[in-house]
Amino acid sequence: MEPADNNTVELSAEIEQALRISEVAFETSDAIMITNADCFIIRVNQAFQDITGYSPDEVIGRNARMLNSGRHDKIFHAEVGMWQQLFQDGSWSGEIFDMRKNGETYPKWMKITAVANRDRQTTHYVGIFNDLSERNNREEEIRNLASYDKLTRLPNRHLFLDRFAEKLAKSTRLKSYGATLLIDLDRFKNLNDTMGHDCGDLLLIEVAARLKDCVREMDTVARLGADEFIVLIEDVSNDLDETSRRVGLVAEKIRECLSRPYFCNGHPLLTSSSIGVSLFCGSEIPVDVLVQHAEMAMYQAKNAGRDSIRFFDPVMQDRVNAHAALENDLRQAIGRNQFDLHYQMQVDNNHRPVGAEALLRWNHPDRGMVLPGVFIPIAEESLLILEIGNWVMDNACRQLALWAKNPETRKLTLAVNVSAKQFAIAGFAESVATMLKKHQVDPSRLKLELTESVMLEDMDGTVEKMHALKALGVSLSIDDFGIGYSSLSYLKQLPLDQLKIDQSFVQGITNDGSDAMLVQTIIDLATNFRMNVIAEGVETQAQLTFLKHHECMAFQGFLFGMALPVNEFERLLHRIAGGITGAFRAFNPMC
């Protein structure tokens, strides 16, 4: 045998090295499957075995179709799928589903490359793929976190609104009514704080399960947040009355179901729910507005005493819209100089003016004169009362400073109403002191009228704050005495100067024995506690006669003058000082 030449030896070494490299590369983390031109498997690597569960002996010699999951139809494979692209381009890549040995279907990313000989005839196919199950699971988990509530596994607000939009479109096509029910658990925060958050979470999970049991599988139950859930009931009926009846039955079923006892660590937990219902048909009203309607109805159920159901009423919507518009205007009233103070006379037993009450008026450019009974509740609710109260105090002190320069007005006391929210803020006494100093006002000329509600939250703090105000030299009066939380115990503790009898009692003293008895009792109380007493709402001579007979000390009402702008009020004072007969009557259209 002739010895091999050097070139042959070198070529053999290169081939051997290439084969070793090929073997190492073949055992990659990606699965590799090699087939012949007819798609019969001739070789697989270890990663293929790990992913599919098949050993080489189980697949070599068999057609690669054995791995098909059946989830791709013939059109996909034969006409528009991978084989068409393989024949045309020599390669294909994409995501497909195959089946493991244990029958489990799984997603994989695969690239198939056709291997051709020198005559450009396909001799082999090389498929390289990896398992996408873990990646897809992570993606699904991320989607769930974005669309589902983590605790209850219910759809969250985002997913619910998406589904609701779809159902509204369907409702339009079918011309059928549906409903959304907003459910809020009553006093859940108290239960959560008392029993602990673990018990609270268990209760919420149980609520979610009960809600799903109360509705059809096609309906949607979602958690909006905290203890608030919402149910979407679709395709109820083409008749509004029938829809109302059916939805009402479902709502009552839910209310009753949620009121049954819950258990945590063997302890029974009791709660109830307030349910607001909003009906819909078609997509004329947007999703967010329909949810808002259900929410308004739910709050109406809360206000009705909880554990109840209320349907949204368009009249309620009009009321809410009007409330919102008024609040919006109210926020701009101070900046636009729309507020004004009117002054109502207060007189003593001899009808001599001793002071006035400052009463706020809102001169609205479109609504005209708006009285406090209309806008003060809105101001209280929105906390605008703090800004408004500060404006009133500042302007009242400014007016006292002006009156101090006039002999006819310098001895008048000006009563200013103080909101319970205003009184409750830290540093209220200090803010009053600042106003008095700013305008150089004699503190004894300022009287603060407080409601009995100031005592409800913090009696000790109230007493301390009142003493701080008394130390400034201002006087204190309890307004509308008798209609709130009157108690002899707080009359003993509070440094009050005056009780003000509410006008509702005054107006009834001549025809209602109980009102007359109550007024007499209040006057006696004030006398026994060495306090002054004033009656408001005095409109007739008969009322005045009764009050004088029972030794009431001061009076306020239309009998002595209505609330007037400052210029008219001062003209009235001037007439009285001048002894003009009928001065009160001239400014009193009620007489």
- Residue 437 binned pLDDT confidence (cut-offs 50, 70, 90): very high
Distance of alpha carbon 243 from alpha carbon 281, whole angstroms: 10
| Residue 97, strand partner residues | 107
Q: Where are the domains of the chain?
A: 18-136, 148-312, 337-586
Q: What is the DSSP string of 403-471?
A: HTTSTTTTT-EEEEEE-HHHHHSTTHHHHHHHHHHHHT--GGGEEEEE-GGGGTT-HHHHHHHHHHHHH
Buried b (16+ CB within 10 A) or exposed e, 564-583: bebeebbebbebbeeeeeeb
In the predicted model, is pLDDT for residue 448 greater than 90? Answer: yes
In the predicted model, is pLDDT for residue 307 greater than 80? Answer: yes
In the predicted model, is pLDDT for residue 580 greater than 60? Answer: no
Residue 266: count other Cβ atoms within 10 Å of its Cβ: 5
Residues found in the chain: 591
- Residue 137 binned pLDDT confidence (cut-offs 50, 70, 90): confident
Q: Could you tell me which residue, 587 or 458, shows the higher pLDDT?
A: 458
Of 373, 461, 387, the residue nearest 424 (C-alpha) = 461
| Res 79: pLDDT | 40
Render pLDDT for 358-416 as a digit per residue (tens, 0 to 9): 999 999 999 999 999 999 988 988 889 999 999 999 999 999 999 999 999 999 999 99
Would the CA dihedral through 411, 417, 423, 428 be positive or negative? negative
Distance of alpha carbon 166 from alpha carbon 583, whole angstroms: 72
| Res 72: pLDDT | 56
Alpha helices (runs of H) in 259-354, residue ranges in sequence order: 287-303, 314-333
State the average pLDDT over residues 61-78: 68
State the average pLDDT over residues 557-575: 94
- Residue 297 binned pLDDT confidence (cut-offs 50, 70, 90): very high
- Residue 268 binned pLDDT confidence (cut-offs 50, 70, 90): confident
Render pLDDT for 149-160 as a digit per residue (tens, 0 to 9): 989 999 999 899
Distance of alpha carbon 275 from alpha carbon 255, whole angstroms: 8
- Residue 19 binned pLDDT confidence (cut-offs 50, 70, 90): low
| Res 590: pLDDT | 41
337-586: CATH topology: TIM Barrel (3.20.20)
Structure tokens at 277: 């219902």
In the predicted model, is pLDDT for residue 9 greater than 60? Answer: no
Residue 470: count other Cβ atoms within 10 Å of its Cβ: 17
Q: In which element (H, E) is residue 533 found?
A: strand 532-535
Distance of alpha carbon 124 from alpha carbon 127, whole angstroms: 10
State the average pLDDT over residues 163-175: 88
Residue 407 CA, chain-centre distance (Å), reads 55
Distance of alpha carbon 21 from alpha carbon 25, whole angstroms: 6
From first CA to last CA, the distance across the chain in angstroms is 146
Distance of alpha carbon 61 from alpha carbon 39, whole angstroms: 9
In the predicted model, is pLDDT for residue 25 greater than 90? Answer: no
Residue 280 CA, chain-centre distance (Å), reads 22
- Residue 490 binned pLDDT confidence (cut-offs 50, 70, 90): confident
- Residue 3 binned pLDDT confidence (cut-offs 50, 70, 90): low
CATH assignment of 148-312, among 3.30.70.270, 3.30.450.20, 2.60.220.30, 3.40.50.620: 3.30.70.270
- Residue 458 binned pLDDT confidence (cut-offs 50, 70, 90): confident
Distance of alpha carbon 383 from alpha carbon 376, whole angstroms: 10
Per-residue DSSP letter, 64: G
In the predicted model, is pLDDT for residue 24 greater than 90? Answer: no
CB within 8 Å of 433: residues ≥ 6 apart: 472
- Cβ atoms of 518 and 524 within 8 Å: the answer is no
State phi, psi for 69 to the nearest 5 degrees. -85, -20
Strands (E), 37-88: 41-44
In the predicted model, is pLDDT for residue 540 greater than 90? Answer: yes
Distance of alpha carbon 72 from alpha carbon 53, whole angstroms: 21
- Residue 571 binned pLDDT confidence (cut-offs 50, 70, 90): very high
| Residue 220, strand partner residues | 232
3-state secondary structure of 24: helix
- Cβ atoms of 125 and 35 within 8 Å: the answer is yes
- Residue 76 binned pLDDT confidence (cut-offs 50, 70, 90): very low
Of 396, 437, 400, 435, the residue nearest 417 (C-alpha) = 396
- Cβ atoms of 552 and 535 within 8 Å: the answer is yes
pTM reported for the whole predicted model: 0.56
Render pLDDT for 318-373 as a digit per residue (tens, 0 to 9): 776 788 788 899 999 999 999 999 999 999 999 999 999 999 999 999 999 999 99
Planar angle of CA 163, 166, 172, nearest 5 degrees: 140
| Res 445: pLDDT | 97
State the average pLDDT over residues 437-459: 88
| Res 87: pLDDT | 80
State the average pLDDT over residues 121-131: 89
- Residue 291 binned pLDDT confidence (cut-offs 50, 70, 90): very high
Render pLDDT for 93-120 as a digit per residue (tens, 0 to 9): 888 888 899 988 888 888 998 888 888 8
High-pLDDT (> 70) share of the chain, %: 88
Mean pLDDT over each residue of the chain, to the nearest integer: 86
- Cβ atoms of 34 and 43 within 8 Å: the answer is yes
State the average pLDDT over residues 214-220: 94
In the predicted model, is pLDDT for residue 26 greater than 80? Answer: no
| Res 573: pLDDT | 92
State the average pLDDT over residues 308-317: 80
| Res 583: pLDDT | 54
Distance of alpha carbon 421 from alpha carbon 434, whole angstroms: 19
Distance of alpha carbon 108 from alpha carbon 96, whole angstroms: 6
For strands 91-99 and 446-450, give the pairing: unpaired
In the predicted model, is pLDDT for residue 548 greater than 50? Answer: yes
The superfamily in CATH containing domain 18-136 is PAS domain (3.30.450.20)
